[in-house]
Amino acid sequence: MSQLAIILLYVYTLFFDIAYTWEHISGPDLESILKNNEAATVVVCNKKTEHLETEWSLALPEAKVPFVSIDCTANAAICASHGVSLSTTVKLFSKGEPVSTYTGPRRASALLAWADRVQRPVISEVNAATLEDFKKADETVFIAYLSTDDEASKAAFADVADRYREEFTFGVATDDDALEVEKVTAPVVKCYKPLDGDIHDFDNPSDAAALEAFVKGASRPVIGELLPHNHQRFLDRGWSMVYVFAATEAERAGIRKDLNKIARGNYKSLTMVTVDPLEFPDLPAKLGLDPTVLPAGAVHQLSKDRIYLYPKGKGWSSSEVQGWGLDVWQGRIKPWTPPGVTTTYDDHLGGRIKATQKISMRKIPGVKVKVAGRDEL
């Protein structure tokens, strides 16, 4: 892909009283940039993008392609001509054509990782000389170590990589020296997660269905970041969901750091995520939380559809969260009862909370199945 790829961010604003803090280019300037295959990013501040400015400013100095912004309220026709209407959208362009739309979190490092990722080939060739750098090229990297004549594994890996290329980075190594450096025997696929420091292995890459399940499972961080496109993936694990809401990325990052040890210790039996309330504005109230009080948290026991609220005013230190979790686990805390619902919870006898069934997103409070047309950031 051309190094003159363009990142383009449009924000449609419904709140005209919010002061703009980004400088925007004009519509003609945007068209000129696209025509000349130069790079650009487009932003307008509204209530959904107030917190984005901080992350955006952190990304700019490290961006390998320039960012510019355009006010879509003043340039609605031009924005619409590039597939943007009523939602905040980040697009990467190459030679004037959009090649990817960002669906990740409001986080500078995630934006930068995505911009690099979608400019790579779907699968990169990796050898002994490039192996160490490639393992750290993204927040989640999959490398298939294969024999040169293993066409079945190559085909399955290519199929899965094509479907998940906008989320993760994929590479293949058939170089004997690379396999020796990594101390592996082909065939095997390894998942590297530099942020968590984790590595996962899978030794049956010719089975496309099993390989896809591995990619979805192994890519899950110790503490995930909830987004519309990954919510169902988390729910499909069938284990209880721990939701932690915080207003800013700095707060969410701090909570992820503080709770990392607890989350790692319960990685197999719980699914813990931080949530940007701007992405899920209806979810806190429908989980029984006051949306005006943040940070806030709740556990959703999927098997019995019960919700346990983290106490208001309680701190978010590791010891406080662990103590509360123990109280829930041992049955000392009753589930939240939605208004108008009467129950005695006669079977509430404590014991480990776990799920025994898969849950559809349609049954989860505040989750919308339709993704098209949502605010992307």
Domain with CATH 3.40.30.10 in the chain: 6-117, 124-218, 224-363
The β-bridge relationship of strands 169-173 and 141-145 is parallel
Contact 73, 26 (CB under 8 A): no
Angstrom distances, CA of residue 154 to CA of 32, 142, 150, 208: 42, 13, 6, 10
User: pTM, whole model, 2 decimals?
Assistant: 0.84
Averaged over 128-151, what is the pLDDT?
Answer: 98
Q: Please state, in angstroms and rounded to a whole number, the distance separating the CA atoms of residues 323 and 207.
A: 43
Given this model, what pLDDT does residue 35 score? 72
Helix or strand run (H / E) with residue 6? strand 6-11
Cis peptide, bond prior to residue 311, ω within 30 of zero: no
| ∠ Cα 126 128 134 (to 5°) | 45
Given this model, what pLDDT does residue 85 score? 63
The percent of residues above 90 in pLDDT, for the chain, comes to 59
Nearest to 303 by CA among 369, 348, 268: 348
User: What residues does 242 pair with on adjacent strands?
Assistant: 272, 299
Would you tell me how many other CB atoms lie within 10 Å of the CB of residue 373?
A: 10
**How many residues are present in the chain?**
377
Given this model, what pLDDT does residue 18 score? 36
Q: Please state, in angstroms and rounded to a whole number, the distance separating the CA atoms of residues 338 and 335.
A: 10
pLDDT in tens, 23-62: 677 888 878 777 775 444 444 434 456 677 788 788 888 8
More confident residue, 161 or 27: 161
**CATH superfamily membership of 6-117:** Glutaredoxin (3.40.30.10)
Collect all residues with Cβ–Cβ distance below 8 Å to 189 and sequence separation of at least 6: 142, 143, 144, 145, 157, 201, 202, 203, 205, 211, 214
Averaged over 243-261, what is the pLDDT?
Answer: 96
**What is the torsional sign of CA 27, 32, 35, 39?**
negative
315, amino acid identity: G
The β-bridge relationship of strands 198-202 and 188-193 is antiparallel
Flag the least confident range among 207-211, 266-270, 347-351. 347-351
Angstrom distances, CA of residue 305 to CA of 32, 101, 144, 299: 54, 34, 39, 10
Given this model, what pLDDT does residue 361 score? 40
Which band of pLDDT confidence, cut at 50, 70 and 90, is reported for residue 243?
very high
Averaged over 193-202, what is the pLDDT?
Answer: 96
Contact 3, 66 (CB under 8 A): no
CATH number for the region 224-363 comes to 3.40.30.10
| Encoded tokens for 225 | 């970041």
Q: Please state, in angstroms and rounded to a whole number, the distance separating the CA atoms of residues 9 and 4.
A: 16
User: What residues does 192 pair with on adjacent strands?
Assistant: 141, 199
Given this model, what pLDDT does residue 100 score? 84
Averaged over 241-260, what is the pLDDT?
Answer: 96
More confident residue, 34 or 181: 181
| Encoded tokens for 95 | 């030679």
Domain 124-218 fold? Glutaredoxin (3.40.30)
Indicate if the pLDDT at residue 337 is higher than 80.
yes
Contact 220, 234 (CB under 8 A): yes
| Encoded tokens for 271 | 């699914």
Indicate if the pLDDT at residue 363 is higher than 60.
no
More confident residue, 258 or 13: 258
User: What's the whole-number average pLDDT of the chain?
Assistant: 82
Given this model, what pLDDT does residue 370 score? 32
Given this model, what pLDDT does residue 44 score? 40
pLDDT in tens, 290-326: 999 999 999 999 989 999 999 998 999 999 999 999 9
